[in-house]
Structure 1
Amino acid sequence: MSSGPDARKPLSADACPHLGREYNHFEGPHLQNPYPFFQRLREEAPVTFNPTMGMWLISRYDDIVSVLENPASFSSASSIELGANLTAETREILGPGPLIHASPLNTDPPGHTRLRRYLQKGFLPARIALQEPRIRHIANTLIDGFIHEGRADLVERFAFPLPLQVILGLMGAPVEDMARVKRWTADLFGLCFAQVPPEAQPAMARGVVEFRAWCSRLIEERRQRPQEDVTSDLVHGDEGEDVSTPELISLLAGSLIAAGHESTAAQLTLVVKNLLEQPERWQRLREDRALIPHAVEECMRLEGVVGGLVRTATRDVEVGGVLLPKGSKLLLLHGSGNHDAAHYREPECFELKREGPQHLTFNRGIHFCMGAPLARLELRVALEQLLERIPELRLVPGQDYGYHQELVTLRNVRHLRVEWPVP
């Protein structure tokens, strides 16, 4: 394998392999269907530099896993500068302190260990298992709202509100605030990750301030009157846990409520899309519901919502035969790793009982998604209810799904228009 440009010398666009320069996950064919390009990367330039992003693209499964399982050499902290382009007016509205405090996703041990241990008690298996009847009720109620219409945008009517209602209920937050929380989440993630025009920033910043105040009120209510919910568990944690109130507000807003529904909504949309694009897949599940968990996993491998994650080299280190200097930023292409033929036979094919390693959509190592059991439960129950209530579901032909990737990590579609016969 070629080692690419000399990693010890300053890099320029001319010094980079052509494939690294080509990649653009925000628009064009790499947004719509990146997998043919990922195959070229794995075969021709598995470790290559993209000068536009200033990152090394890591495309093979084994190389991605080696980075994820070595947090001492590849840091998650400050890999992406949050709110890098905020104006002075926006920062004044937001007030002192960081836009959002550290979360388990973007910290290293020992800080990561502290935060993950603190949050993990809200996602104990016994608590998650108890959510199934409620998730099923929410799914059925949402379906009741559009089943008589014969056509719907499943993103708007089902995939987005389902996990948002689930996480709000889990936190003990009022579901009536769902519309406001949806807007606040967009404001928070937009200011954190997106290139927001200066004129749009102040309104979004005021939304973030409102979101913080809403979380603060919920925390105070649970301090005064604990209930059987995750917020109460976090507020009344074990003595000696050193999580400050501003940290708790950030964890509630970002790590739990925002992250707890955005990725699941996006993944649910992609799972249904993949099943309906090949109607025989949907038909197999109609005939045998026991295959649904296998279908969920295979769809997450075929088209996972996590396009990639960023790491920073803490020392000079070799990845895939290429020497990367300390401070190098790496974009781990999880979607490419999930299609690596070195581990998955005929990786572009849909195989319900596939053999091979666990897909990377929920990450790997110390940063494995703690919400994975809840997400899997939501995906399974959602499919069960769609198959039960609308078995003849099909895609509206010729539609534009509206693929978009505003963040480095999250790939989604804006629409999933479906139809079905109405008696």
Structure 2
Amino acid sequence: MAKTPPHPPGASEGRKPLSADQCPHLGREYNHFAGPHLENPYPFFEQLRKEAPVTFNPMLGMWLISRYDDVISVLNNPTAYSSAGVATTSVDRLTPEAQAILGPGPIIHDSPLNMDPPVHTRMKRLLQRGFTLAKVSRQEERVRQLTNALIDGFIHEGRVDLVQRFTHPLPAQVILNMVGVPQEDVEKVRRWSGSLFGLIFADIPPTVQPAMARDVVEYRNYCTQLIEQRRRQPQEDLTSDLVQAEPDGEALTMPELISLIGGSLLAAGHETTSAQLSIAVKNLLEHPERWQQLREDRTLIPKALEECMRLEGVAPGMVRTAIQDVEVGGVLLPKGSRLFLVYGSANRDEAHFKDPEHFDPHRENMQHLNFSRGIHFCLGAPLARLELRVALEQLIERIPGMRLVPGQDYGYHQEMLILRAIRQLQVEWTVS
């Protein structure tokens, strides 16, 4: 399939950009917040790729880009597409009482996710020092300890909601431990961060907003105290890494540090990893032969996890804004167009993946988009992969006979545009 040119041509070619009302109507059917497109969007994605690979969705106010090569062409061209506004942190939609509690300005400083160069370049460079491969590798023993401690808490019960007891708390404990949060503070930090992300991404009832706003203020203060403490007494943790200035004296500001420690690290290191671990285990147990295959050959676990992420990743897509008139998939779009890059569709594109609906842990091409691509490739990918691998290794070793409780509702939900998850995963096994 022909790829979109790296430098998109504009109206100078004599063509006019396509307007929303001129595009195929198929895109108007898409609603990934509810209904069949939430539960199982993949048949619709296949139809999109074949019939309307570039089409407009009025509910989102965005153009859906569903083919792999078109998505890659956008991700690899930050000069034509902006990441600003991927995740809004505005207080405008909150009640006056909640706004007064939060104070002026955004709820929290922007993160690298919705920054463009050169600001993004600086932020990513300073953040990278906490995520070197050597530092991530040194976390394996601690991740395994935390994993086994959680399993110890329910292994004799014979049945458990794996989301509540394992897949949700594990990534939170790992990243909070890396940040330097004491164990006794973990639960309140998780509550505070839940309030933060709720106010940013979710439609929160007015009556609840003031209490959540107070949580956010407490969270900011907690992060500030932790940062100031590490400046005085550095330790072996991520906060200490981030507060250190570069040799030339460049350092992150306090609002930037609070955003990275209180927002970005928990979002990338907790919510997404938790959601992905839940869905990966679900997918493996839904097909017992997959679980059995990993029981017999645990060296397949890393590739099996990559294949799980390709088949059902928790990142439905990502947002970009055209800085100029652009051409995507042969369609000319006007400057200012908002694009939703449908990762869930691109990861099953038959033009890029052979037999894309088939689970194959031996697949040679594992280039899925769950960690994005280009300058915004997720810095936390090595840590997420480590957590996923260790968690699955220990589940298979300690509860090899785990199986799904039949007839359950997994509770798919998507309050955030860029995160799809399940609320529960009921599993059972025979206690020996």
Question: Which category of TM-score, normalised to the shorter sequence, fits these structures?
Answer: over 0.9
Instruction: Give the equivalent residue in structure 2 for 1:365.
Output: 374
Q: Over aligned residue pairs, what C-alpha RMSD do you find?
A: 1.5
Alpha-carbon offset, residue 231 of structure 1: 0.6
User: Among 254, 258, 279, which residue is 1:245 paired with?
Assistant: 254
Q: Are 2:294 and 1:266 aligned?
A: no
Q: Are 2:119 and 1:111 aligned?
A: yes
**In structure 2, distance between residues paired with 1:280 and 1:81:** 42
Q: Are 2:33 and 1:26 aligned?
A: yes
User: Among 191, 198, 212, which residue is 2:206 paired with?
Assistant: 198
Instruction: Give the equivalent residue in structure 2 for 1:400.
Output: 409
The answer to whether the 8 A contact 2:245-2:252 is kept is no
User: Among 236, 240, 244, which residue is 1:236 paired with?
Assistant: 244
Aligned residue for 2:418, secondary structure, equals coil
Q: Are 2:385 and 1:376 aligned?
A: yes
- 1:33-112 correspondence to structure 2 within 5 Å: 33-83=40-90, 84-112=92-120
The answer to whether the 8 A contact 2:298-2:393 is kept is yes
Aligned residue for 1:405, secondary structure, equals strand
Cα deviation digits, residues 16-43 of structure 1 (max 9, x gap): 4221110000000000000000000000
User: Among 129, 135, 147, which residue is 1:127 paired with?
Assistant: 135
Alpha-carbon offset, residue 79 of structure 1: 3.7
> Can you give the 5+ residue segments of structure 1 that lack an aligned partner in the other structure?
none
**In structure 2, distance between residues paired with 1:11 and 1:159:** 41
Moved more, 390-399 or 357-366: 357-366
Alpha-carbon offset, residue 207 of structure 1: 1.0
Q: Are 2:298 and 1:289 aligned?
A: yes
- 1:326-337 correspondence to structure 2 within 5 Å: 326-337=335-346
Alpha-carbon offset, residue 201 of structure 1: 1.3
Moved more, 354-363 or 19-28: 354-363
Alpha-carbon offset, residue 198 of structure 1: 2.1
**In structure 1, distance between residues paired with 2:359 and 2:75:** 26
Sequence identity percentage: 66
Aligned residue for 2:419, secondary structure, equals coil
Alpha-carbon offset, residue 366 of structure 1: 0.4
Cα deviation digits, residues 236-266 of structure 1 (max 9, x gap): 2325224211221111111112331110000
Instruction: Give the equivalent residue in structure 2 for 1:312.
Output: 321
Q: How does the TM-score come out when normalised to structure 2? A: 0.94
Alpha-carbon offset, residue 175 of structure 1: 2.2
Alpha-carbon offset, residue 80 of structure 1: 4.2
> Can you give the 5+ residue segments of structure 2 that lack an aligned partner in the other structure?
2-14
Instruction: Give the equivalent residue in structure 1 for 2:398.
Output: 389
Alpha-carbon offset, residue 103 of structure 1: 1.2
Alpha-carbon offset, residue 82 of structure 1: 2.7
Q: 1:292 to 1:357 in 2, by over 3 A?
A: closer
Q: Are 2:422 and 1:413 aligned?
A: yes
Ranges of 4+ aligned residues in structure 1 off by more than 4 Å: none
**In structure 2, distance between residues paired with 1:261 and 1:79:** 19
The answer to whether the 8 A contact 2:245-2:251 is kept is no
Instruction: Give the equivalent residue in structure 2 for 1:350.
Output: 359
Alpha-carbon offset, residue 356 of structure 1: 2.4
Residue identity in the other structure for 1:382: A
The answer to whether the 8 A contact 1:59-1:333 is kept is yes
Q: How does the TM-score come out when normalised to structure 1? A: 0.96
The answer to whether the 8 A contact 1:343-1:357 is kept is no
Moved more, 232-241 or 211-220: 232-241
**In structure 2, distance between residues paired with 1:237 and 1:260:** 23
Cα deviation digits, residues 181-238 of structure 1 (max 9, x gap): 2221221111111222222211111111111111111111111211111111111232
**In structure 2, distance between residues paired with 1:412 and 1:314:** 31
